Structure 1
């Protein structure tokens, strides 16, 4: 199991929504003679942090379509230990900010009890050659790993900073697989 501080800041988020047709009707399947609804799931990683006095989860906003019709949302450790399951309505109430690329959630208090909370930074804008620790999912295996990334170049887009990063080294090569049970 990963034991780096970055792994303890990272939470895996799974959004589960009913699979529907073009008219919004639930899709079903027959299992052992019984009709069952089909579901679609989306997964991502978030970082538990403090934003002022608020406990937040910062993540990519790649769930635009799923958040409309959510059934439930699960928060897991990177080792796939279930931390919390909430309804889709409860998840939507946690959204503090979203812009199609970034999502900031008010973190449920249960997450802060079980995980290490990272500070959001010192307010300094990263500069060229600074090092950032990035948690990510291995594409072929689904394992979570942490990589040291060096800021190679800075630019801006619509008055927001854009960073080009270069991978320095894998910090946690013992990442635990997050494949479905």
Structure 2
């Protein structure tokens, strides 16, 4: 069950953004985003996972770090399609002594949504990925032309594989232009 909870932390942090903050000192165009970006960093500190089902209720605090990055996202224009490839290693540390390590392929888009390609749009420092009626809005908090940092404030209730959890925390994803 700890493995499923650990994977749940990652899935929520990568795929659900709940609070969007569009205040920034930088301006980005869709053309700035076009091209290939490599995953340079992934982290989520002090994520709280409140497992409510199956009983009894459990609270898990975890830190999530990525390594061995070999994952890429390519944003093409006309049509606006985002394609995700590659993999990276994820280390999930919780309860002071437990560490789970996973290799995740294609940012786990394929594992969760069944796809590695989606439509994309950009407006007011929000990058939106859309596929099959699902939409994911990502808040871009820093952009230098070569690096893009995305922050996700997570506050979601999710049921995956019969495990229902409330997940709270903040994840930061850094991408580097290739």
Normalised TM-score (structure 2): 0.29
Normalised TM-score (structure 1): 0.29
Greater RCO between the two (CA within 8 Å, min separation 6)? 2
Which has a greater percent of strand? 2
